[in-house]
Amino acid sequence: MHTQRGLWLFLVPSGLVLTLVLLYPLGYAIYLSFFNYYLGAGERTFVGLGNYAALLTDERFWSSLGKTFLIVGSAVSLEFVLGLAVAFGLYKLTFGVRTLNLLLFLPHIITPVVAALFLRWVFMGRWGLIDGILISFNIFPPDWLGSPGWARMTAVLADAWQFTPFMILVLYAGLNTVDHSQIESAQMDGAGNWTILTRIMLPALRPLIVFVLAIRTMDAFRFFDSIYVLTAGGPGTATETITLYTYALAFRLLEVGKGSALGVLTLLIVAALVALLILVIYRRERGAF
Amino acid sequence: MRPTQRTQIMLFTALAAFTVLNLTPILWAFMTSIKLPVDAFAVPPKLIFEPTFKFHYEVWVEKEFWRFLINSVIISVATVCVSVPIGTMAAFGLSRMRGTSARSLLFGLLAIRMFPHILLAIPFFVIATFVDLIDTYAAMVLALVAINQPFTIWLMRSFFLDVPRELDEAACIDGCNLWQTFSRVALPIVRPGLWVTSLFSLLLAYNEFLFALVLTGPNTKPLPVAIAEYGGEDINYWSLSAAAAIGIMLPIVAFMMALQRHLVRGIALGAVKG
Amino acid sequence: MLPHLACLLIDRRRATALLAGVAGWLSLPSGAFAADAVQMISHRYPALEFYAERMREALPDVEVNTQLMPHDKAMELANIAMSSKADTVDIVYLNDSTFLSFAKNGWLRPLDDLFEKYKEEFGLDDFTESALDTFRYDGHLYVIPHTINTQLFFYRKDLLDEAGKSPPTNFEEYKALAAEMNSPLRAGTISCLKPVDAGLNEMHWYINGLGGAWFDDDMKPVFNNEAGVNAITMLGEITANAQRGFTSAANDECTIALQQDVAVMGMQWASRAAAMDDPEKSNVVGKIDWVAPPDGHQRVAADGYALSAFSKQDPETLFKIIATSSNEANMREAASMILPPRRSVLNDPELQAANRHYPASLASLEIGQAFPRLPEFYEVGEFITRRVLQAITGEMEVKAALDAAAAETEELLKSRGYYQ
């Protein structure tokens, strides 16, 4: 049996890169979050937890946090449900799977900045694709980017369009690994597709589900381009997420200290969310993670 | 209870319809790229028009975007070549560790992925100027490798967890060290998983925008930055963006087509024992 | 290359060699980024593309690398580079508003000495005094002007003629006309309220045009007074007849709305006028006409190029580059794309005859108004736009929204050392 101690050596190259490249900026950002630091003046004053206190009493922080939860929650759920449905469909399909698989993955490979622009041309009022087609049939659809509810919906759809393919690919592959004998015996007992999916496949895929949900939650919280390009947080503040606020603080106001504090708060919130996710899905058998 | 012919066709139709719906924005962008702006944004949308490839020509030939494509390829391939090997090693180490320390380390790694990237851009720039690496491939590759590590490690770890421990032990009876267990026993088994990890790492590196904007310059600028430079303020720029954006997808599509068999098998193999 | 990756890993020696090789090759200093190439960062629109090209050709033995990108990205890069005192940028694009904070922060090199020295050679006293004055801060000149721009009132002459109407001369008329001309297929007016920059420009016109102001003499915000509330109320009423999705529309979206015949009129930049008559872009060639904005006080802006205080290049070389690109011949050539800040070009009757929008543009310049000369305006614009949009979309009452914006503005300015 090999020694446990030698195993640490395997972490050295990766650990070195992470320490050299990431830990310093990350540590520096955390350090800055305790300062009042306006980039323009170039000098900073220590304010302790002042930035955090200011943010936690800031109505804009809470409202953007709420909207982020709403948008991320809807987007990730939609992606998961849609991804699972399509993956299960592909699993059941006996022909054309490979082609569909490739085509379905395409939206995921577009550069995010550009993907948002593509969607803008589809959702834009009047001369966008959807409006253009519907209005020429004299149907006046809702204002996709201009009414609060629909703008949020569009933001969710934009995220789903780009990231459902990721879910499909991973979940489809996962479904293929589920033990066939179990499925066959269930089929003998007369179980339908729904029962097989929910009773046999999903429990078997729990680790994978945690993986995709956690990764997507983390990324959706951070992602910025599609909302920035599509609605820029509007109409009003309907789609103003926490990254948009971070962007405004760090790049528009150059208030790097407060921006960093917001970044740290985001990190804590997402970490808590992911921990909760792991806890809920694994319930008591926590050791399985 | 074999699915009948009819349900198969219905299933295929439904999935194909979903696929078409998903591809509409891309097709529309492609059509935008081969129309004059007056047709591209016409109301109602024009499906019959005289195609022009002048924007594709302008982007790839006159504006020499092929240079940025080369930069993109260098950066993303180099990132994969560094990130996947070292991430794989770390993943193996973590997968074979007992106790909770590995799990907390893993969670700590993930925390890095949760921090808003826009806040890392400024320190990255400061460090890169300090060590005089602005506008070099190295700065960009290092940053991307680091950003990529959590995902690579987590995904590869799940592949390694699939490799039975008995195999490790069997190998050790023949008197091999840890490195040999890794390279001769575990690695060949998870090889398909490497493809998947490589694909996602490649995608991340290939499409990265923010760090590229800050860390690269005229000599190392990758495609996403070059495209974003035509983000607006003239309608022609949109047509150029569309043409460049269609072009930027092609290498990845080709890569995926070449690897598709490996990919699905790769994911099937791992990622299941989170 | 990739298929071998897995195999490479199996052999430790080959893997180490690969890593070392990749690392070694990548950290080679990339040769072309030599100290002698001048680095320029700029916003991008057609006229600036033209000037960037002229900078690259300005001096035969100096290589100029020009990076042009959307305004927000260019500002991000410039801010990051300048705040860390990096020499990665030598020449930087700035406008009449953004240059103030750069100058205040000490990031720019004053150009007075070079301006005097090269006055003759480049005919620098041909620049309009107002353009030069725009780019002075604390008595020093920081930017060589390249463009002047102002918002014009664009309208569909054919449609208004048909309805027997003439373009509005004040906001009340504009509101009534927008309501009257509005139809399901063609919006009464365009409105471009995308935050931050597009929205702020339009709000500037309403606030000032309707008798309000952003700040008083002590830089205390006053846009929440009665005139301000009336202005934003007016904005809300006029947008009732604006195109779909106006809250996320910037200049491009508005321009397309006019070009594609889905809106009747509205405010847009003079630099967009020529595109209305371009058959490759527009479906309304010859149908659009322009007048000076109703009630005036719309934004007048200017763009130009400044020198970084942290540049290691010879300032004279850099100055010659931006002085060459803005010389008379170049400005004459760019005059169809953008208004020139040189008297000899701006007042040239030939150019005025050749460009259909010039009469309206010149009239607009007379009655326009620049952004407040407050270095922090670019920043507080963020609060203001956000709050005003909350009012426009009904999330808040107008008065409450403006009060909130004023309080936030005051708080930021106080933290930057004002009012002491």
Q: Is the pLDDT of residue C5 over 80?
A: no
Query: Taking CB atoms and an 8 Å cutoff, what residues of chain B touch A121?
Result: 25, 28-29, 32, 41, 238
Rounded Cα distance between B208 and B75, Å, is 10
Res. C358: pLDDT tops 90: yes
Confidence category of residue C10, pLDDT binned at 50, 70, 90: very low
Check pLDDT > 70 for residue C304.
yes
CB A113 within 8 A of CB A168: no
Angle between helix A97-109 and B187-207 (nearest 10): 40
Q: Chain A residues with CB inside 8 Å of C379's CB?
A: 252-254
If one counts every other C-beta atom within 10 angstroms of the C-beta of residue B59, the result is 26
- Highest mean pLDDT out of A33-47, B115-129, B146-160, C372-386: C372-386
Q: Is B11 on the interface with A (CB under 8 A)?
A: yes
Separation between Cα atoms, residue A91 and residue B138, nearest integer Å: 42
Of the ranges A118-122, A191-195, B105-109, C318-322, which one carries the lowest mean pLDDT score?
B105-109
The residue of chain A nearest to residue C388, with distances taken between CA atoms, is: A236
Angstrom distances, CA of residue A63 to CA of A70, A170, A258, C374: 11, 33, 17, 29
Q: C187 contacts in A (CB within 8 Å)?
A: 126
pLDDT, residue C36, reads: 78
C111 vs A192, higher pLDDT: C111
**Sign of the C-alpha dihedral, residues A231, A236, A237, A239?**
negative
Nearest chain A residue (CA) to B30? A118
Token readout for C386 is 């956000």
Global confidence as pTM: 0.91
d(CA A129, CA B44): 8
Residue of B nearest to A19 (CA): B146
From the list A9, A22, A86, the residue facing B18 with the nearest CB is: A86
Nearest-CA distance C124 → chain A (Å): 31
Q: Which residue of C has its CA nearest to B209?
A: C73
What's the pLDDT tens digit per position in B173-232? 666 778 888 888 888 888 878 888 898 899 999 999 999 999 998 899 999 999 999 988
Q: Sort out which chain A residues have CB atoms less than 8 A from C185's CB and list them.
A: 135
C45 touching B, CB under 8 A? yes
A276 burial via Cβ count (<10 Å: 0-12, 13-18, 19+)? exposed
Q: What's the CA gap between A31 and A50, in Å, rounded?
A: 13
Neighbors of chain B with 3 or more C-beta pairs under 8 Å: A, C
Chains with at least 3 CB pairs less than 8 angstroms from chain C: A, B
Name the residue among A14, A225, A267 with its Cβ closest to that of B114.
Answer: A267
Q: Inter-chain contact B41–C256, Cβ cutoff 8 Å?
A: yes
Comparing CB atoms, the residue among A110, A211, A247 nearest residue B271 is: A211
Q: Name the residue with higher pLDDT: A23 or C248.
A: C248
| Interface mutation target, options C2, C63, C77, chain B, most CBs of B under 10 Å | C2
Q: What is the dihedral of CA C304, C307, C308, C314, to 10 degrees?
A: 160
Chain B residue closest in CA terms to A255: B119
Over 90: is that where the pLDDT of C301 sits? yes
> Which residue matches tokens 């909770």?
B100
Q: Which of residues 82-111 of C touch B (CB under 8 A)?
A: 84, 86, 88
Among A95, A224, A275, the residue with its CB nearest the CB of B118 is A224
Q: What is the pLDDT of residue C106?
A: 95
Q: Which stretch, A18-32, A149-163, A205-219, B35-49, has highest mean pLDDT?
A: A149-163
Burial class (CB in 10 A: 0-12, 13-18, 19+), B93: buried
Q: Do B178 and A7 touch (CB under 8 A)?
A: yes
**For C383, nearest residue in chain A (alpha carbons):** A248
Q: Does C101 touch chain A (CB under 8 A)?
A: yes
Strand, coil or helix: C65: strand
Q: What is the ipTM of this complex?
A: 0.90
pLDDT the model gives residue A286: 46
pLDDT band at C370 (very low <50, low <70, confident <90, very high): very high
Task: Report the gap between the CA of B207 and the closest CA in chain A (Å).
Answer: 5
Task: Using the predicted structure, report yes or no on whether residue C151 has a pLDDT greater than 90.
Answer: yes
Q: Are A243 and A223 in contact (CB under 8 A)?
A: yes
B194 Cα to chain A: minimum distance (Å): 14
Mutate to test the interface with A, among C202, C232, C248, C264 (most CBs of A within 10 A): C248
- Euclidean distance between the first and final Cα of chain B, in Å? 32
How does the average pLDDT of chain C come out, rounded?
A: 91
Identify the residue whose tokens are 């897995």.
Answer: C6
How far from chain centre, in Å, is Cα B70?
16
Instruction: Give the residue among A202, A215, A207 at the shortest CA–CA distance from A108.
Output: A215
Residue B6: burial class (beta carbons within 10 Å; 0-12, 13-18, 19+)? exposed
Q: Is B134–C88 a contact, with Cβ atoms under 8 angstroms apart?
A: yes
Average pLDDT of span B95-108: 77
- What confidence score (pLDDT) does residue C16 get? 55
Q: Which residues of C touch A236 (CB under 8 A)?
A: 247, 389-390, 392-395
Q: Which two tokens stand for residue C294?
A: 């109703």
Is any Cβ of chain B less than 8 angstroms from the Cβ of C43?
Answer: yes
Helical segments of B97-177, H only: 101-114, 118-130, 137-161, 165-173
- Interface contact A135, partner C, CB < 8 A: yes
Minimum Cα–Cα distance from C74: chain A residue: A251
Helix (H), strand (E) at residue C91: strand C91-95
β-strands A35-37, A44-46: how paired? antiparallel
Torsion over CA: C215, C218, C224, C230 (sign): negative
Residue B131 at interface with chain A, using a CB cutoff of 8 Å: no
Q: Would you call B154 and A107 a contact, using CB atoms and an 8 Å cutoff?
A: no
| Gap between the Cα atoms of B42 and A131, Å rounded | 12
A193-226: pLDDT as tens digits: 888 888 888 888 887 788 889 889 988 988 788 8
Which residue's structure tokens are 């070449």? B258
Mean pLDDT to the nearest integer, A130-139: 90
pLDDT tens digits, C11-57: 555 555 555 555 555 555 444 444 579 999 999 999 999 999 999 99
**Percent of chain C having pLDDT more than 70?**
92
Provide the shortest C-alpha distance from residue B26 to chain A (in Å): 7
Chain B contact present for C46, CB below 8 A: yes
- Asked if A234 and C195 come within 8 Å (Cβ–Cβ), the reply is yes
The 10 Å Cβ neighbour count of residue B57 is 12
What average pLDDT does the segment A3-11 reach? 78
Q: Which of residues 48-107 of B touch A (CB under 8 A)?
A: 82, 86-87, 89-90, 92-94, 96-98, 103, 105, 107
| Chain C residues near residue B252 by CB distance under 8 angstroms | none
Residue C93 has pLDDT above 70, yes or no: yes
Neighbouring C-alpha atoms within 13 Å toward the C-beta of B218: 18
Q: Which helix (H) or strand (E) holds C144?
A: strand C143-156
* Chain C nearest C-alpha distance from A279 (Å): 35
pLDDT for the residue numbered C32? 43
